[in-house]
Amino acid sequence: MNCQTVMQAVREGLIGEEALSHLRSCPACLDLAVRIDPDILFRSLGGNELTPPGGVDLFAAEVMQQVDVRRKESQMSPGRLSSRPVQWAVAAALGLMVTTASLVQRPGAVIAPPAGAQMAKASLVSRPVIESYESASATIVEVPSAESSIQIVMVFDDSLPVDL
């Protein structure tokens, strides 16, 4: 079949197997035919190259065999823990944990500070108290406090050791 007869058949809507095989082999005719009727693109698919090796029956049998294998695999694999009794047991355990934690951690209960905090407190007490300090390069700031007898003094001096 030549290009003119194929295009005439496309315009008339009478496309046979011979015209479809021509459309599969001629991209120019296929492009024109698709512009006239887009359904021709899907009808032109096919031919002998789409037949699976061994035939359609063998292909269908292999597909059904794979479906059966997958079904048996899913039946034999361990299931998820999605049953209602398991979900209720997990919810009860979480509720028990929350209740126990709220009873143990009562408001007003004295909680001991961590060991590191006690060590830091002891190291602050063991530092020497400096009654007077004078330096030309230091900035000394006194924070007034009317509520307590403790006087807070900040000394900013780059020549002092870091741990003083």
Q: What is the pLDDT of residues 22-78, one digit of tens each?
A: 888 888 888 888 888 888 887 787 766 667 778 878 888 999 999 999 999 888 877
Tokens for 105, please give them: 């951690």
Domain assignment present for 89: no
Domain assignment present for 102: no
Domain assignment present for 39: yes
Domain assignment present for 114: no
For 142, phi and psi rounded to 5 degrees?
-105, 130
CA 88 from chain centre, in angstroms, equals 28
Number of folded domains in the chain? 1
Domain assignment present for 122: no
Please count the CA atoms within 13 angstroms of the CA of 107 that sit on its side-chain side. Answer: 0
152 contact partners, CB below 8 Å, separation of at least 6: 142, 143, 145
The larger pLDDT score, comparing residue 26 to residue 113, is at 26
What are residue 143's DSSP bridge partners? Answer: 152
Identify the three-state secondary structure at position 31.
helix
Which residue range(s) make up the domain with 24?
3-45
Domain assignment present for 75: no
Domain assignment present for 33: yes
pLDDT attached to residue 23? 86
